[in-house]
Amino acid sequence: MKEISVQTHSRAEMIDITAAVQKAVREEKIEKGFCLVYTPHTTAAVTINENADPDVPRDILAALDRAVPLSANYRHAEGNSAAHVKSSLVGASELVIIENGRLVLGTWQSIFFCEFDGPRTRKVLISIIAG
Ligand code: ZN
């Protein structure tokens, strides 16, 4: 298992971590298999989406804000229930195919770390399965 540290800079943010994940795959020297990208946090997530137009992650964050307002009649006393809900909606992990030592991603796809309760220093764990 490998660990990537991600420093976030705002309350909600999507950070492209594809290069760091690809580097971890390269270091394992595995030609074929799977790469699990997982974040062990309850107010963050991992997703795959478009990297070309920065308005796409902005629109995703804005849509999540509309769907899950910052304040509603939440019970959780910490005050970050919206971030917990977004974390569950987006999900804590992505599994990516490895072929010829590289992540199999579409031309416009990147792996994003999603911060919903930043800024913080976060962890992303990478587990590579050969085969
Ligand atoms: Zn909380």
Predicted local confidence at residue 36, as pLDDT:
98
Distance of CA 40 from the midpoint of ligand 1 (Å)? 14
Chain-centroid distance, C-alpha 88? 12
Task: Please give the distance, rounded to the nearest whole angstrom, from the Cα atom of residue 78 to the centre of ligand 1.
Answer: 5
Candidates 1.10.3720.10, 2.60.120.460, 2.60.40.10, 2.60.40.650; CATH matching 2-130: 2.60.120.460
Spacing, Cα 42 to ligand 1 middle (Å): 8
* Distance of CA 48 from the midpoint of ligand 1 (Å): 24
Indicate the domain borders of the chain: 2-130
Unique residue bearing structure tokens 């020297």: 29
Q: Could you tell me the two tokens for 2? A: 């490998």
Instruction: Determine if the pTM surpasses 0.85.
Output: yes
| DSSP code of residue 61 | H
- Using the mean position of ligand 1's atoms as its centre, give its distance from the Cα of residue 68 in Å: 15
- Centre of ligand 1 to C-alpha 84, Å, is 7
Q: Calculate how far, in angstroms, residue 99's C-alpha sits from the geometric centre of ligand 1.
A: 38
Q: Spell out the per-residue pLDDT of the chain, length 131, in tens.
A: 999 999 999 999 999 999 999 999 999 999 999 999 999 999 999 999 999 999 999 999 999 999 999 999 999 999 999 999 999 999 999 999 999 999 999 999 999 999 999 999 999 999 999 98
